[in-house]
Amino acid sequence: MTLFNNKRLDKKLFAIDVERMQLGWYSDAYFINIFNILETLAKENYTFQGISDIKEINEKLVNTGDLKVEMQFFTRRKPFSLIAGVDESLAILEDCTGYFDENNQFINTYEQLEVEAIQDGTFAFYAGDPQNVQPVLKVRGRYRDIAKLETPILGALTEASRVATNVYNVLEATQGKDVLFFPARFTHYKLQALHGYAYSLAVQAYNHKHNKNSSTFVSTDDQGDWWGGKGGGTVAHSAIACFLGDTAETMAQFSRIIPIEVPRIALVDFHNDCVGDTLLVMEKMFEKYWQYYSEGNLEEAKKYKLFAVRSDTSGSMRDISVEPLGAEELDLGVNPRLVWNMRKAIDHAYLRWNIPAPARDLAITWCKDVKIVVTGGFNVEKIKKFEKLQVPVDIYGVGSSLLENCSYHGSGNDFTADIVRVFIGDQWYPMAKVGRTHCNNPNLELIKG
């Protein structure tokens, strides 16, 4: 299934290190070795001197150094991958296919290739049979011109598809609830744009497949760079520390100063008392809200509309509101009982307030509109447990698990590239290691050739 508008990313976004890519700087050394061998053989006008697996040809007429091949790239993640990294792979091919001449000038031979590729954001399936795969990229051309590019292309496909597929699986687990993309601190900053793009593809793919309307929330501007998103967020524990531990005052000043389009989400676990700090924040925020609302200043009142509260309780801590049962999985961290405690407190917070009668109905709605965001150690398995128990979580914040290699799906997130055919004379002949073969994918599109 191909998604969206069939537009590919501008290759300038990838900021590819073209000069060093052409030199093989990012390539496994054995690809440099085969390139050097083939280049030398081409200069020597060498013809094949061995015994070919292809019996119907005259192998003595094969110029090995200039052999034209067909390569196919495919995922080995079971049962499927949401593919990303194709557009970057195409950019690598376009700028880095070729060789250096005797004057050490790079000769780009991309125009001599035939290339087919699927769209980023397309599903590819793998049932575990390497003879029945769905290639996401096919390249036909002189092998020595593309030998150095296999490593970076496989890396681009693997990294982006791993994150996209992980995010998609998380969205399946949440049943379409919004997922805050929080892995920036768990990887090198240069990967933020790639990861954020993969995340955006996953949200679009999930919405498209399930007719949902999940939103995108990234935490840094770079995560949104390739697709037009902007980083968003509210407060960190360090902000509360700067306000000497007063979470309510932190949120009051945040709401006064930060533009209204930024959701007001209070982080409420600073004192390991999520219920207590939630109630303090809500009381202070509604007091300001009602003040401006009653004056008719609705725009200023909107600044104090609390969007959500977030618990990030450490997995080694038991929140004050959670009565101990003697089992870590039931007592510690962000657990279902804590979230239920928070929901009950949020919905009935207005009963504690000394407010005039005209404010009561407004306060009831204001409280019920407050959402609950949970973060800290959430992955597919934990989210599924919460959803099965119908825990009243509105938004999940997920971080490091979105970057993990999901080995429980068989072969992890590996991508593989194989030569599957060679061109001799005027026709293609099968040529692949045992267990691999030439395969097709109906979602492949002709890029050039």
Domain range annotation of the chain: 11-162+407-448, 167-403
Report the share of the chain in percent with pLDDT over 90.
Answer: 91
| Cα 241 to Cα 421: distance, rounded to the nearest angstrom | 63
pLDDT bucket at 171, cuts 50 / 70 / 90:
very high
Q: Strand 114-117 relative to strand 137-142: parallel, antiparallel, unpaired?
A: antiparallel
pLDDT bucket at 127, cuts 50 / 70 / 90:
confident
Does the pLDDT at position 236 exceed 80?
yes
Does the pLDDT at position 168 exceed 90?
yes
* DSSP line for 179-224: EEE--GGGS-GGGHHHHHHHHHHHHHHHHHHHT--PPEEESSTGGG
> Chain-wide mean pLDDT for the chain?
94
| Cα 277 to Cα 240: distance, rounded to the nearest angstrom | 11
| Cα 3 to Cα 164: distance, rounded to the nearest angstrom | 14
Does the pLDDT at position 409 exceed 60?
no
Q: Does domain 167-403 have CATH number 3.20.20.70?
A: yes
| pLDDT tens digits, 313-353 | 999 999 999 999 999 989 999 999 999 999 999 999 999 99
Task: Read off the pLDDT of each residue in 120-147 and give the average, rounded to a whole number.
Answer: 94
pTM of the model: 0.93
> Domain 11-162+407-448 in CATH: superfamily?
Quinolinate phosphoribosyl transferase, N-terminal domain (3.90.1170.20)
* Sign of torsion over alpha carbons 291, 294, 298, 299: negative
Q: What is the pLDDT of residue 158?
A: 96
3 state SS of 424: strand
| Cα 362 to Cα 414: distance, rounded to the nearest angstrom | 54
Q: Which of 32, 97, 44, 48 has its CA nearest to residue 71?
A: 97
What would the two tokens of residue 24 be?
């093989």
Q: Strand 80-83 relative to strand 122-125: parallel, antiparallel, unpaired?
A: antiparallel
Q: What is the pLDDT of residue 1?
A: 40
